[in-house]
A and B are shown apart, each in its own frame.
Chain A
């Protein structure tokens, strides 16, 4: 009798269970997987913390869009890579402030748009800047242009930016950032005046080759660029939201540059992956605990002050930020005009003072809730706050939210405490703009409203004297803190890691300027 070549054995359920358990244990005991080869030198593979949303400067949604727009468009001036904030010429041959409301510029004659849309001229500059303030376009970036009146074209490549009132942030956050990108008038008009994620014509050292949603954005070197050529044939930008995932991608050799998390900083500094360098930069972000002044539970100023004094920021720095960040004194980071050297309520908790203030308040059995975006750093911070307030006998409930629900919370008048974090540009005007009365319930979740604060915000943007301007912003932060609605925590930090085969070009806050990245 012939035996079959394969003898099928019935696998009993119990045997399978036993086998699978054993296999699981064996796998747990083993582990490890091989690493991917490092990226080659002709392609820069890098990471953005979210996916691109728009390639139209009028609708750019922030850092991620700008990281892609900056290499493909030109501005009159660009941020200068380095440790101190400054700018350098880009499309402008020259630029000067003729008087507080007039800025004259002359364009280089070597910059042209792709797809046959010709040389960049002053008309393109006029179109690019004025379209953003055009109410019909409803640009989300209109505030960046502040009091722009118009751009006067005085020649083929010369013009004057005319402001209604002096506007100091122009040099810090308008011309060298999102709203300063220059697009082709003819190209945009040919597609109805605005674009989404497909550029109609660009002019920078790199071209936008493709965008694969949630996968990657690919830029390639612009062969017609007349300036210093981009160092890489290709730049691939991968949207990786999670910092840990980005670190694993880096260590696996899948990307050449990424920001890393503060909790990994010590480990990566002590033993960086092969041929890698870790660098640390201060960040401009600001994190604070806010208290909703419209909530009756928090209407007692002594209670708010007690909370301010009970919060122990050094503990937060240690546990949430792994001692990789410094406590902040306000919303304006060190290195920017208006930074305060000290806060009014101190950094470490002062429980005696907090208890005295609570006693003065006459409040007892206080029970509050704090709304927190569900990220591990925030959850850790919230638990420290909970312990800090518990020391005063205040019960604090932690309410975690996903991004979509958290960022809608401002509309909620019943908010109590909020652990919040805002991004920032290198001008104090950008920070104070969210805390004026008009923003109450929009981005001003504390609903703090002060006439003096609003006046400072309005006046300081026009103040040309840096000393006077700095004093005004310092006073603005004093007003915030005096209200008892704010306890400032930190500006965080930006540690980056990169392969030694590349020379990164970074802003003073550690964010990348890809157009200036080079090869080692």
Chain B
């Protein structure tokens, strides 16, 4: 009960810090809008995003079609909203999976025996040695494009990012006085890892996760742009960009509908991540606008 109250208090404090920081507030607002629009995309899209209406193709923006229509007469605004859902459908599970596995492996590497640390580091380095995009293209070429393939590939290549940070934090916490005291009192390894080390590494993880979401969204869009991501007719910001590129001399709207959300998402999550970083890193408190 006491722990829950403490957690609630910390969450409120973080939120308080975020909304007091203009950058954090803007970031939070953008991210909230993106999350809500993705979550309720089904309810708010004015048209079926995959329904063809060829006679109405390539229309400019109007009250009927806010961002015009594409070459198949589909409402670009509806496709943009649904594209946001696809982007987050890729980004959130990817981040969650990569972060969970990175946490687990990083804590084992940092707290476990030396040989296990070396083995896990070798695993991280092996994965990191593949350029993410090339690795993704190779896997997609082998097993075929799909949303799940994209998620798995990006997740696999993101694990080392989290794992290495967690390992470093665990190594420094491992020799901290409070951990030594816990050990002297007979605490088990699982209690030390779960109760003492995990809460201390979660903050930095949240910052990295927030900063990573635009990267993953961008990767998914890149793969979909190349036709290696989601399959047609599923809308994604990448496929909107692809349509926009081929129609760029006829209409700018599809490329705006694909590009603008990517820019806004990147800015929103980066602002939020920056503000979160300032909040969770005590060394940065009082700088960057927070007094």
Chains A and B bind each other: yes
Chain A residues with CB under 8 Å of chain B are 12-14, 17-18, 21, 24, 244, 247, 263-264, 267, 315, 318-320, 374, 376, 379-380, 382-384, 386-387, 397-400, 402, 405
Contact of B52 with A387 in the complex, beta carbons under 8 Å: yes
Give the interface segment out of B98-106, B172-180, B246-254: B246-254
Contact of B232 with A379 in the complex, beta carbons under 8 Å: yes
A-B contact sample (15 more), CB < 8 A, given A263-B250, A374-B227: A13-B274, A18-B23, A24-B263, A247-B249, A263-B249, A319-B52, A319-B54, A320-B71, A376-B242, A376-B243, A384-B72, A397-B231, A399-B145, A400-B145, A400-B231
Distance A264 CA – B71 CA, assembled complex (angstroms): 13
B144 in contact (CB, < 8 A): yes
CB neighbours (8 Å) of A21 from chain B are 267
B112 in contact (CB, < 8 A): no
Q: Across chains A and B, which 3 residue pairs bring their CB atoms closest together, nearest first?
A: A376-B246, A374-B227, A400-B227
Chain B contact patch, size range? 20 to 34
CB distance from A386 to the nearest CB of B (A): 7
Contact of B245 with A244 in the complex, beta carbons under 8 Å: yes
B271 in contact (CB, < 8 A): yes
Q: Which of B54, B263, B270 has the most chain A CB within a 10 Å cutoff?
A: B54
CB neighbours (8 Å) of A387 from chain B are 52
Contact of A319 with B71 in the complex, beta carbons under 8 Å: yes
CB neighbours (8 Å) of A376 from chain B are 242-243, 245-246
- Please provide the chain B residues from 251 to 291 with a CB less than 8 Å away from any CB of chain A in the complex: 263, 267, 270-271, 274, 287-289
Distance A111 CA – B145 CA, assembled complex (angstroms): 56
Contact of A244 with B52 in the complex, beta carbons under 8 Å: no
Q: Which of B227, B231, B271 has the most chain A CB within a 10 Å cutoff?
A: B227
Chain B residues with CB under 8 Å of chain A are 23, 52, 54, 57, 71-73, 141, 144-145, 226-228, 231-233, 242-243, 245-250, 263, 267, 270-271, 274, 287-289
Contact for A263 among B228, B247, B263, B271, CB less than 8 A? B247
Distance A267 CA – B58 CA, assembled complex (angstroms): 13
CB neighbours (8 Å) of A13 from chain B are 274
User: Given A244-B246, A376-B242, is A382 in contact with B232 using a C-beta cutoff of 8 Å?
Assistant: yes
Contact of B231 with A383 in the complex, beta carbons under 8 Å: no
Contact of B227 with A383 in the complex, beta carbons under 8 Å: no
CB neighbours (8 Å) of B243 from chain A are 376
CB neighbours (8 Å) of A24 from chain B are 263
Contact for A14 among B52, B54, B233, B288, CB less than 8 A? B288
User: Given A13-B274, A387-B52, is A319 in contact with B145 using a C-beta cutoff of 8 Å?
Assistant: no
CB distance from B189 to the nearest CB of A (A): 37
Contact for B54 among A244, A315, A386, A405, CB less than 8 A? A315
CB distance from A107 to the nearest CB of B (A): 48
Contact of A14 with B23 in the complex, beta carbons under 8 Å: yes
Distance A380 CA – B57 CA, assembled complex (angstroms): 12
Distance A13 CA – B289 CA, assembled complex (angstroms): 12
CB distance from B280 to the nearest CB of A (A): 15
CB neighbours (8 Å) of B228 from chain A are 400
User: Given A14-B289, A315-B54, is A267 in contact with B250 using a C-beta cutoff of 8 Å?
Assistant: yes
CB neighbours (8 Å) of B249 from chain A are 244, 247, 263-264, 267
Contact of A384 with B52 in the complex, beta carbons under 8 Å: yes
Distance A143 CA – B247 CA, assembled complex (angstroms): 40
CB neighbours (8 Å) of A379 from chain B are 227, 232, 242
CB neighbours (8 Å) of A319 from chain B are 52, 54, 57, 71-73
Contact of B72 with A380 in the complex, beta carbons under 8 Å: yes
Question: Nearest chain-B residue to A402 (Cβ)?
Answer: B141
CB neighbours (8 Å) of A267 from chain B are 249-250
Distance A319 CA – B243 CA, assembled complex (angstroms): 12
CB neighbours (8 Å) of B289 from chain A are 14
User: Given A376-B242, A382-B232, is A264 in contact with B274 using a C-beta cutoff of 8 Å?
Assistant: no
User: Given A379-B227, A402-B141, is A244 in contact with B248 using a C-beta cutoff of 8 Å?
Assistant: yes
CB neighbours (8 Å) of B271 from chain A are 17
11 residue pairs of the A-B complex, CB under 8 angstroms, read A21-B267, A263-B247, A315-B52, A320-B71, A379-B242, A384-B52, A384-B72, A398-B232, A400-B145, A402-B141, A405-B141
Distance A18 CA – B274 CA, assembled complex (angstroms): 11
CB distance from B287 to the nearest CB of A (A): 8
Contact of B250 with A264 in the complex, beta carbons under 8 Å: yes
Question: Nearest chain-B residue to A251 (Cβ)?
Answer: B249
CB neighbours (8 Å) of A264 from chain B are 249-250
Contact of B288 with A12 in the complex, beta carbons under 8 Å: yes
Contact of A386 with B274 in the complex, beta carbons under 8 Å: no
Distance A319 CA – B52 CA, assembled complex (angstroms): 10
User: Given A14-B289, A244-B245, is A383 in contact with B250 using a C-beta cutoff of 8 Å?
Assistant: no
Distance A78 CA – B198 CA, assembled complex (angstroms): 79
Question: Nearest chain-A residue to B242 (Cβ)?
Answer: A376
Distance A24 CA – B259 CA, assembled complex (angstroms): 13
Distance A99 CA – B16 CA, assembled complex (angstroms): 97
CB neighbours (8 Å) of A244 from chain B are 245-246, 248-249
Distance A402 CA – B223 CA, assembled complex (angstroms): 13
CB distance from B230 to the nearest CB of A (A): 11
CB neighbours (8 Å) of B231 from chain A are 397-400
Distance A155 CA – B72 CA, assembled complex (angstroms): 64
